[in-house]
Amino acid sequence: IQGAEVPLQVTSIRTVRWESMEMNFFLLVEPGVLDDAPSSRIVTFQIPEGREDDLQDALAVDFPNITLINVRQIRDQAKSILERLALAIRALGGFTAVAGVVILFASVGATTARRARQVALLKTLGVTRASAAGMLAVEYALIGLVAGLVGTLGANLLAWGVQTWLMRLSWEPLWGPSLVAVGACAVGTAVAGVVGNGRALQVKPAAVFRRI
């Protein structure tokens, strides 16, 4: 302690909630053990925002050996950094979503000829255009549902690992946004599948079978 060696025996270790931003570096010892050790006092208090400079000037006059640490300023800087980091992550996620939509439409367009033959066969068997579109919507919705579930599960596992093991913070799953993401993925994939196969749904069976 401040250069002086004080032998102590560790009997227990407590859990620290780092996200509380409170003083959490205390070492609890029995009374009398540190009476002869060099010491200093620490205190925390909260004052209205904007009065920090006045208080610091007043304390510096009466108590020149006091060191003041503006935790609010440190907290605001950390908050600003985290907000910029979150914005970058959201931007990256948006770019990934747009790229996924482009790839989805490209993959749907690549199977237009095969879908046209399937739709032509269904129409020959008496299936209407609306029914064929509904079948395509269900098929692509199931694909989007599975993809959304896998992606959401992976994202939650990654968030759990980062917060629990890397940042040592408590983690709570966000079931609401996760369900919304899965539903949006299913609906978006279904819409993309039907729209991308619009030409296949418009084709006439005679024209398809003539090419075959």
Give residue 209's pLDDT: 63
Alpha-carbon distance values, 102 to 24, 31, 109, 197 (Å): 49, 68, 11, 15
> Rounded CA gap, 60 and 119, in Å?
84
Q: Which of 125-129, 166-170, 180-184 has the highest mean pLDDT?
A: 180-184
Domain edges within the chain: 1-110, 111-211
**Position 200 pLDDT exceeds 70:** yes
**Position 211 pLDDT exceeds 70:** no
pLDDT digit string, tens, across residues 120-152: 877 777 888 888 888 888 988 998 888 888 888
Give residue 5's pLDDT: 79
Question: Is the CB of residue 140 less than 8 Å from the CB of residue 188?
Answer: no
Average pLDDT score over residue span 57-69: 81
